[in-house]
Amino acid sequence: MHIVDSVSSETLESPIQLSLVIPVYNEAEILPQLFLRLEKVTQSLDFKTEVILVDDGSSDSTWLDIQHYSPKGFDLHGITLSRNFGKEAALTSGLKAVAGEAVIILDADCQDPPELIPVMLEAWQEGADLVNMKRRVRRGESWLKRKSASIFYRILGVLSETPIPENVGDFRLLNRPVIDEINQLGERNRYMKGILSWPGFNQVTLEYDREARMGGTTKWNYWKLFYLALSGITAFSNKPLMLASWMGAMVAFSSFIYGAWVLIKTLIFGEVVSGYPSMMVVILFIGGIQLITIGILGEYVGRIFTEVKGRPNYVIRKSLKKQGSSSQLKSIKGA
Ligand code: UDP
Ligand code: MG
């Protein structure tokens, strides 16, 4: 194990070609398996690789284990945040630290198999700036989670002004120009699946089977996922705001028709208008619509408030760099 100050001059001169960014939150249980799989894959690569592990304020021994780990086949860049800021913030801090010519984002639980890295690199070498990994199968996930995810992706697809590919998570390869663009986006509301797609560039989509978690449990519950979905929609679409106008127009139109009908009934058929039930329905209906639209407005106003405050997305408590024991030094892309 070497600390970065004491690495050999040869390694310091050789630039990092590939960076892997992995957010980790309370993953001590599966870190050893993750390290093993990373070692195996990176040792087979023709690229000098760094692995950026962002500890998102774990309360278990995750950061301690990262500190004690001696990497083989890749250089390690560990970052620990001052508390749990959430996966999107952890990814943001990881992407800022990227030294490589390309970056691949992975989950610590290996649901995005590191063994697919060579295939992604191939697509990159053939000229892709962004390699999207699309989930063909999602193993180990409940029917409800798969269904709600697919409905959400469809809604977002309709609403978003930025094309955001369906069923593509954060498992992607980004070329240097894409990383530079993303690192310049200063927004606080960070829906990474949208942000990663925003710059555009030359995109390739490959399909893969998403594995089940290696161990431990998911860090997301349905409430967190719902909040993430809301932040995705509000960050990438203004269309929900138009809903108020549409619903207003719809109610105004139907009330006009209904009013005419009541008038005809009274004048021609001489029927007395039955008051209470229809009045209640109308009041509750309009009241409901008003509350929904105020709620939608509130979502946007709340996010404007967060943006205006301008607080940082994350705070780094500590970082470390270790050089891998047998990292390879091969040709850089296009060189
Ligand atoms: N994660 C994180 N911060 C959080 C929650 C999750 O950094 O607040 C990391 C977690 O350690 C994992 C990745 O994000 O590497 C994906 O999390 P998880 O596997 O729990 O999500 P799922 O795959 O179930 O959607
Ligand atoms: Mg997972």
Query: Which tens digits make up the pLDDT trace of 16-75?
Result: 789 999 999 999 999 999 999 999 999 888 888 999 999 999 999 999 999 999 998 899
CA atoms of 7 and 325, how far apart (whole Å) = 10
CA atoms of 320 and 269, how far apart (whole Å) = 85
What spacing in Å lies between the alpha carbon of 156 and ligand 1's midpoint? 21
Radius of gyration of the chain from Cα atoms? Answer: 26
User: 276-309 and 222-236 helices cross at what angle (nearest 10)?
Assistant: 80
Q: What is the mean pLDDT of residues 177-195?
A: 90
3-state SS class at 129: coil
Nearest CA to ligand 1 atom 2: 87
Identify the CA nearest to 91 among candidates 187, 234, 190.
Answer: 190
pLDDT at 15: 84
Note whether 313 and 90 are within 8 A (CB). Answer: no
pLDDT beyond 80 at 10: no
CA atoms of 254 and 50, how far apart (whole Å) = 62
For residue 26, which atom of ligand 1 is closest to its CA? 11
For residue 55 and ligand 1, the question of a CB distance below 6 A is answered with: no
pLDDT at 6: 41
Q: Which ligand is nearest to the CA of 30?
A: 1
- The per-residue pLDDT of the chain, averaged, comes to 84
Nearest CA to ligand 1 atom 21: 218
Cα distances (Å, whole numbers) of residue 99 to 54, 76, 130, 255, 331: 15, 12, 17, 62, 16
What spacing in Å lies between the alpha carbon of 294 and ligand 2's midpoint? 35
DSSP code string of 67-109: HH---SSSEEEEEEESS---HHHHHHHHHHT--SSEEEE--TT
pLDDT at 41: 93
For residue 106, which atom of ligand 1 is closest to its CA? 15
Note whether 169 and 106 are within 8 A (CB). Answer: no
pLDDT at 273: 62
Identify the CA nearest to 121 among candidates 110, 109, 135, 133.
Answer: 133
What spacing in Å lies between the alpha carbon of 293 and ligand 1's midpoint? 32
Identify the CA nearest to 63 among candidates 78, 73, 85.
Answer: 78
For residue 111 and ligand 1, the question of a CB distance below 6 A is answered with: yes
What single-letter amino acid sits at 93? Answer: S
For residue 86, which atom of ligand 1 is closest to its CA? 8
Q: What confidence category does residue 332 fall into, taking pLDDT thresholds of 50, 70 and 90?
A: very low
In the chain, pLDDT over 70 holds for what percent of residues? 91
What spacing in Å lies between the alpha carbon of 305 and ligand 1's midpoint? 26
Nearest CA to ligand 1 atom 18: 218
What spacing in Å lies between the alpha carbon of 308 and ligand 2's midpoint? 32
**C-alpha dihedral sign at 289, 290, 294, 295:** negative
For residue 33 and ligand 1, the question of a CB distance below 6 A is answered with: no
For residue 52 and ligand 1, the question of a CB distance below 6 A is answered with: no
For residue 86 and ligand 1, the question of a CB distance below 6 A is answered with: yes
What single-letter amino acid sits at 57? Answer: G
Note whether 134 and 167 are within 8 A (CB). Answer: yes
Identify the CA nearest to 124 among candidates 196, 162, 172, 193.
Answer: 172
pLDDT at 69: 93
Secondary structure letter of residue 212 according to DSSP: P
Nearest CA to ligand 1 atom 19: 218
Residue to mutate, 26, 107, 211, 217, ligand 1, most ligand atoms under 8 Å from C-beta: 107
Cα distances (Å, whole numbers) of residue 129 to 196, 201, 283, 309: 11, 6, 54, 34
In the chain, pLDDT over 90 holds for what percent of residues? 41
Tokens of 116: 């697919």
For residue 85, which atom of ligand 1 is closest to its CA? 8
pLDDT beyond 50 at 269: yes
What spacing in Å lies between the alpha carbon of 255 and ligand 1's midpoint? 49
pLDDT beyond 80 at 185: yes
Nearest CA to ligand 1 atom 17: 219
Alpha helices in 160-238 (DSSP H): 176-184, 192-197, 222-236
CA atoms of 131 and 103, how far apart (whole Å) = 10
Note whether 125 and 333 are within 8 A (CB). Answer: yes
pLDDT tens-place string over residues 149-181: 888 888 888 888 888 888 888 999 999 999 999
For residue 169 and ligand 1, the question of a CB distance below 6 A is answered with: no
Q: What confidence category does residue 13 fall into, taking pLDDT thresholds of 50, 70 and 90?
A: low
pLDDT tens-place string over residues 302-328: 889 988 998 999 999 999 998 887 644
Nearest CA to ligand 1 atom 13: 107
pLDDT tens-place string over residues 100-131: 999 999 999 888 899 999 999 999 999 999 99
pLDDT tens-place string over residues 132-145: 999 887 776 778 87
CA atoms of 42 and 53, how far apart (whole Å) = 15
For residue 217, which atom of ligand 1 is closest to its CA? 20
Tokens of 144: 């409800």
CA atoms of 157 and 311, how far apart (whole Å) = 30
pLDDT tens-place string over residues 193-244: 889 888 889 999 999 888 878 777 777 777 888 888 888 888 888 888 888 7
Q: Residue 135: beta bridge partners?
A: 208
Q: Which ligand is nearest to the CA of 87?
A: 1
CA atoms of 232 and 206, how far apart (whole Å) = 23
